[in-house]
Amino acid sequence: MLFVVDVGNTNITYGVYDGDKLVTTFRMMSKVPHTSDEYGIQIIELLKADEINADMIDGCIVASVVPNIMYSLTSGIIRYLGVNPLIVGAGVKTGIKIITENPKEIGPDRIVDAVGAYEKYGGPILVLDFGTATTYDLITEKGEFCAGITAPGVRISAKALWEDTAKLPEIEIKKPKSILAQETISSMQAGLVYGQIGQTEYIINQVRKESGLDNMKVVATGGLGRIISEETDLIQVYDSTLTLEGLRLIYLKNAK
């Protein structure tokens, strides 16, 4: 079985593949630091909840945008799962050619999403990831990562509202019944959700216009991606496990 790990700014998402089948996923917060033993023991216990023993794991791959937890996390994986993880980064085969001005600036999470989207849906394709930040990455028909847009995520915008204003409360992020809000909570929800929908549609249209790729597919992933995807026809596919699938595909490309 293959153990895949996506370390984001908010959560660590784990997945286990049996061949090409994703058999389980679970999450931990990435903002709370742990020792290698804590990571290892928590992973073991979470796997056991799905009747997966450590000796059933024979491979591991990790993509991370949080460098300061990597030593403890990888040490825990090595000690408790008995596998040496492949870290997505320089020298790892991906099948995607990065042709931006500074390829080293492209985060491993975005590369993994690009691989998953291109391999599953082909190109040209625009990949949207609604995470802590909202990212838009364009991959050509030839598998070239040619452009990327980064915007504040919905949660970042929401946090700014309730932390930087004296009277606005912390709220659940969801689509209100109407944009014509008549009280504080639904007015904030309307601004956040409809604002994100508007941003998403404008950026997709502008990318299509400036790239000239009228046949461009659009796929979305990430925690809040489903809410946005359901509200616009410009996103063709919402794929909740796109990043994990990208990790599996990269592992296979490097397995030899």
| pLDDT tens string 35-77 | 999 999 999 999 999 999 999 999 999 999 999 999 999 999 9
Report the sign of the C-alpha dihedral through residues 131, 135, 136, 139, in that order.
negative
CATH number for the domain formed by residue range(s) 97-247: 3.30.420.40
Same fold, 2-87 and 97-247: yes
Give the span between the Cα atoms of 210 and 215, in whole angstroms.
Answer: 13
Question: Which amino acids are annotated catalytic?
Answer: 109
Domain locations in the chain as residue ranges = 2-87, 97-247
**Per residue in 140-191, pLDDT tens?**
999 999 999 999 988 888 888 888 787 777 888 888 899 998 998 899 899 9
> Does the domain at residues 2-87 carry the CATH identifier 3.40.50.1260?
no
pTM for the model stands at 0.92
Residue 225: CB atoms within 10 A of its CB come to 23
